[in-house]
A and B are shown apart, each in its own frame.
Chain A
Amino acid sequence: MSAIGIAGVKQIKGIVIIVGNYGSGKTEVSINLAVNQKRAGVDVKIADLDLVNPYFRTREARKPLLKLGIEVVVPEEKYLQADLPILSPVVAGLIRQPSDLTLIDAGGNDVGATVLAALADSFRNKRVHMLQVVNPFRPFTDTIESCLKMRGEIERASKMTINGIIGNANLIDETSVDDIYNGYDFVKALSGESRLPLEFITASVELLPEIDMGRFSCPVIPIERQLVPPWKRAVELKK
């Protein structure tokens, strides 16, 4: 087990769909969950289903992921920079023959989750886990009520049920340890209110050493930031 394993995430398997509101951090969470699980010995494939966001998508991290042996399903190379709603047929194939862990990174809000309904046939008879990413420092998910509303909108659009919550409280580079604690308390309360399990929370690798892990009753996935603007460097992903 790699050093990252200290955060205590067990192996996660099956088809896992990551949903949430715009900018909740679905893609950064998906990438880091994929990396975390690959390091824990799980075979991982990841599909970029973000049909609504023009920049900062999983496809931008495909090279470092491939290096780790994580297959990334993205639209054809020639359409990579397009803002067209392209659903690669490979995605349906991926769902029919899943890996140990098959991660599906959906687009934001109900609009981004609509595409999941189009894959209903492929999901039939599969064990699918859909997780909602929540960052309470984002507009429209800063209260329990608004998170529950978002959940309902996504479930209606995708015609699927959300099974768990991922706490992704952050202000990117300006996140403090207190933000992580407050964010945890928020998603813990959301978990109680929604009766959905809190699957894990996240914290950047830079903050991890300062965080008291004893405070949490769920695992913590470290975030090695990959989606950075051009004047910053992504954290180098090691095996």
Chain B
Amino acid sequence: MGKILMKGNEAIGEAAIRAGCLNYFAYPITPQSEVAEYLSRRMPEVGGVFLQGESEVAVGYMLFGAAGSGERAFTTSSSPGVSLMSEAISYISSAELPVVFVNIVRGGPGLGGILPSQADYFQATKGGGHGDYRLLVMAPASVQEAVDMVMMAFSLAEKYRNPVMILGDGLIGQMMEPVEFSDHLKSEPSNKDAWATNGMDTRKSKERNLVKSLFLDAQLLEEHNLALKAKYDRMKQEEVRYEPYNIDSDYRALIVSYGTMSRVCKTAIDNMKTEGIEVAMIRPQTLFPFPINPIRKAASKKGCVAVISFELSMGQMVEDVERSVQGKCPVYWHGKAGGEIPTPEEVIDKVRSFT
């Protein structure tokens, strides 16, 4: 099949279908409503279900129920909607169920605005809901990467029995780019026997599965949390993904940037190169686990005098960048949070001022 032209939101919906997910629960909110629009047409064509919940709170528990019964399920929302789902995300994490969440981030806090933002970085990577849980968080920078990540997300969610979140800023959902759907990303059917509460008839084991998040016994809760932690540590070992850019040059500065902001930075880096100024970039593709070691190594390179975190927020990822660099190089931040995206010229000015 050749390439087709798709809006990010449509492509995300199609990718979920191609990954074998036939359960989509959602509540409309700009700038992600086109996913629902698209899947309201497509799901009936493939024998799947699109159910609009009465709110995002309901959607969160529809996902909990579907995943608990062994079904592949996913939702898409935008910032305030994800806040409403946060309780369910915590429960689903504790119950160790695979669910894919897509957050097409808009400006905040509160109702904020409808323009692109990355201000849900903390919410996605540090919690949002309560308790010691982690989401595996992936951040696409193009429509094609959104497709690939959504397809990968279902496999990863099942591999770790953990929710996976795709964090895309509003532009990822709204812009149009050519995409193709490759079969090699099609995820294998999972071993849902380990968790699905779908009756004893077809089970190999005689032991029944139980979906729960309540552990009143102190020792059992401690053990549960230790097991979760071991899982998150394994993600840190095995799932770090990032893209280096111009990293083999003799760069004076290292940019850390993700999502569509990183594409502005790439243009800026290319423009600076024509003027003889070398700047490198590390683009985290996973925000949790964060590419700590690659950033530390890149920041330690001789001649690098500044590490700059460019984000569509008031400085969230920069805290992880500082944690990675560990004082080996000065760390700076530049960002916007109103919905405007810094221009390549603005990025160049900032790089100049910090070096």
Q: Is the CB of B3 within 8 A of A139?
A: no
Interface residues on B, range: 20 to 34
Q: Is the CB of B260 within 8 A of A172?
A: no
Q: How far is the CA of A174 from the CA of B178 in the complex (A)?
A: 7
Q: Is the CB of A138 within 8 A of B30?
A: no
Q: How far is the CA of A10 from the CA of B21 in the complex (A)?
A: 50
Q: How far is the CA of A153 from the CA of B115 in the complex (A)?
A: 30
Within 8 Å of chain B (Cβ to Cβ): is A81?
yes
Q: Is the CB of B34 within 8 A of A171?
A: no
Q: Is the CB of B5 within 8 A of A55?
A: no
Known: A83-B114, A229-B175, A230-B343. A171 touches B3 (CB 8 A): yes
B-contact 0/1 string along A55-75, CB 8 Å cutoff: 110000000000000000000
Q: Is the CB of B266 within 8 A of A231?
A: yes
Q: How far is the CA of A174 from the CA of B34 in the complex (A)?
A: 23
Q: Which of B7-41 contact A (CB under 8 A)?
A: 7, 10, 14, 30-31, 34, 37-38, 41
Tell me which of A22, A54, A172 contacts B178 (CB under 8 A): A172
Q: How far is the CA of A230 from the CA of B37 in the complex (A)?
A: 26
Within 8 Å of chain B (Cβ to Cβ): is A142?
yes
A-B contact count (CB 8 A): 74
Question: From A24, which residue of chain B is reached at the shortest CB distance?
Answer: B5
Closest CB of chain B to A177's CB: distance in Å?
Answer: 15
A selection of 25 A-B contacts at a CB cut-off of 8 Å is A23-B10, A54-B114, A54-B174, A55-B170, A56-B175, A56-B176, A81-B339, A82-B114, A135-B5, A137-B3, A137-B178, A138-B6, A139-B6, A139-B10, A139-B38, A142-B4, A171-B4, A172-B177, A173-B178, A174-B3, A229-B260, A230-B260, A231-B260, A231-B264, A231-B267
Interface on A for B, CB 8 Å cutoff? 22-23, 54-56, 81-83, 135, 137-140, 142, 170-174, 229-232
Extra inter-chain contacts (20) besides given A23-B10, A55-B170, A232-B267, CB under 8 Å: A22-B7, A54-B31, A54-B174, A55-B115, A55-B171, A55-B175, A56-B175, A56-B176, A81-B114, A137-B5, A138-B5, A140-B41, A170-B5, A171-B3, A172-B176, A172-B177, A173-B178, A174-B178, A229-B260, A231-B267
